[in-house]
Structure 1
Amino acid sequence: MKNKLLIIGASGHGKVVADIALKMNKWESIAFLDDDECIISSMGLKVIGKSEDAFNYIRDHDILVGIGNNATRQKLYEMLDKVGASIPVLIHPKAVIGEHVEIGKGTTIMAGAVINCCTSIGKGCIVNTGSTIDHDNKIEDFVHISPGVHLAGTVQIGQGSWLGIGSVVSNNVTITSGCRVGAGAVVVKDITDSGVYVGVPAIKLN
Structure 2
Amino acid sequence: MHPLEGLLILGCGGHARAVADVALALGVKHLCFVDHQARPDETCGAFPVRRSWDEDLSQGWSVMPASGDGARRQAQCDWVEKRGWPLATLVSPTATIGFGSTLGAGTFVGHHAHVGPLASVGMGCVVNTGAIVEHESTIGDFTHISINAAVAGRCHVGQLCFIGAGSTVIDGVKIADGVTLGAGACAHRDLAEPGVYVGVPTRKLIKCSLAC
TM over 0.5: yes
Q: Percent identity?
A: 34
Count of residues in Structure 1 that have an aligned counterpart in Structure 2: 202
Per-residue CA deviation, residues 113-138 of structure 1 (Å, 9 max, x unaligned), is 01110000001000001111110000
32-41 vs 143-152, which deviates more? 32-41
Q: CA deviation at 1:91?
A: 0.6
Equivalent residue letter for 1:30: L
1:29 alignment counterpart: 30
Q: Which has the higher helix share?
A: 1
Structure 2 residue matching 1:57: 3-state secondary structure? coil
2:210 alignment counterpart: none
1:186 alignment counterpart: 186
Q: CA deviation at 1:28?
A: 4.1
Q: CA deviation at 1:81?
A: 1.3
CA contact (8 A) 1:148 1:167 kept: yes
CA contact (8 A) 1:95 1:112 kept: yes
Q: CA deviation at 1:3?
A: 2.4
**2:55 is the counterpart of 1:56:** yes
Please identify runs of 4+ aligned residues in structure 1 that moved more than 6 A.
Answer: none
Q: Which runs of 5+ in 1 are unaligned?
A: none
1:42 alignment counterpart: 44
Per-residue CA deviation, residues 66-110 of structure 1 (Å, 9 max, x unaligned), is 111111111111121122111010011000111011000100000
Equivalent residue letter for 2:55: N
**Counterparts of 2:56 and 2:174, CA distance in 1:** 39
**2:106 is the counterpart of 1:141:** no
**2:11 is the counterpart of 1:12:** no
**Counterparts of 1:127 and 1:43, CA distance in 2:** 24
Q: CA deviation at 1:59?
A: 4.9
Structure 1 residue matching 2:141: 3-state secondary structure? coil
1:125 alignment counterpart: 125
CA contact (8 A) 1:18 1:43 kept: no
**Counterparts of 1:157 and 1:78, CA distance in 2:** 22
